[in-house]
Amino acid sequence: MKIRRHNRYEYSPIIERKPFDWPNGKRLAFYVALNVEDFSFGEGLGHTPTMLGPPPDPRNFAWRDYGLRVGIWRIFSLMDRLKLPLCHLLNASVCERYPQIIAKIGERGDEIVGHGYTNSERQSDMDERAEAAMIRDATATLAKHLGRRPLGWMGPWVAETQITPDLLKEAGYEFIMDWPADDQPFWMKTRSGPLLSVPYPIEINDSPTMLSRAQSATDFRQMIVDQFEMMLEQAQEQALVFGLSMHTFVAGQPFRLRQITQALDYVVSHPAFKRHVWVTSPGDIAKYAATLPVGVIPGSEIG
């Protein structure tokens, strides 16, 4: 068959790239992303820990709702103790129903990344007009309730249409997190100019690990530790990004949170953490990458 290609970015082997440091000479950029998702009752898409039930499927809906009622508050408590920022991949509909969550995000000063209106739908099912309207409405809702608009986007279910990057660029977005193709940022082409891709973890991510692949919470703890140790070694050669992604209704379950707590305690107490790790957010990664000279970040020549 003839292989179909996209035109968003060119191949760039990491071993051939120009070296750079993160701020203050740090080598590994580290962020924690929390998916804060809202679902429609009895319809649309939804994560499930078990087989689907007949509509309205209260068992699976309520399991997801646990994340906003309980799980997120346990995660906030952990991050407050560790003094770690969060990047919230936030459904805009959360703003309209859960004011206490929005207030806590504002109190912490955490970063917001646009994550659609609800995870009961995905962009790949929309035509151009509907997708553009959803992006516009979700952005306006987040800006209204948080006092600032998001500059980054990750689509619900990490799904896109053929023109999603174009629509995001035209809506004023500066970076995207839907393309987990690299351990460094890279520039993508859109019909209206370059858009930065910031690494987002599909592997070091509680949902695909513990729900889709049915790996244990102890496996996930070890994955976080192994990822950190290996990337810390690799970062001596190239500056890298280490992201950890969680969902309120997955990581917020006590037995899982115990394992994640142990992993993060290990990471932040590691002897190299203060010396070599930049604790940051996807937005600050994007801002810094945009300041580097042309030719350093892959695809920067396209601008």
CA distances from 106 to 4, 74, 84, 175 (A): 44, 17, 15, 21
Judging by DSSP bridges, how do beta strands 186-188 and 195-197 pair with one another?
A: antiparallel
Question: How many contiguous H segments (helices) and E segments (strands) does the chain have?
Answer: 12, 9
**Residue 51's pLDDT is what?**
79
**Residue 303's pLDDT is what?**
59
Prediction pTM value? 0.96
- Domain borders along the chain are 24-41+52-302
Parts of the chain with a pLDDT under 50: none
Judging by DSSP bridges, how do beta strands 240-247 and 195-197 pair with one another?
A: unpaired
CA pair distance 177, 155, nearest whole angstrom: 8
- Class assignment of domain 24-41+52-302? alpha beta
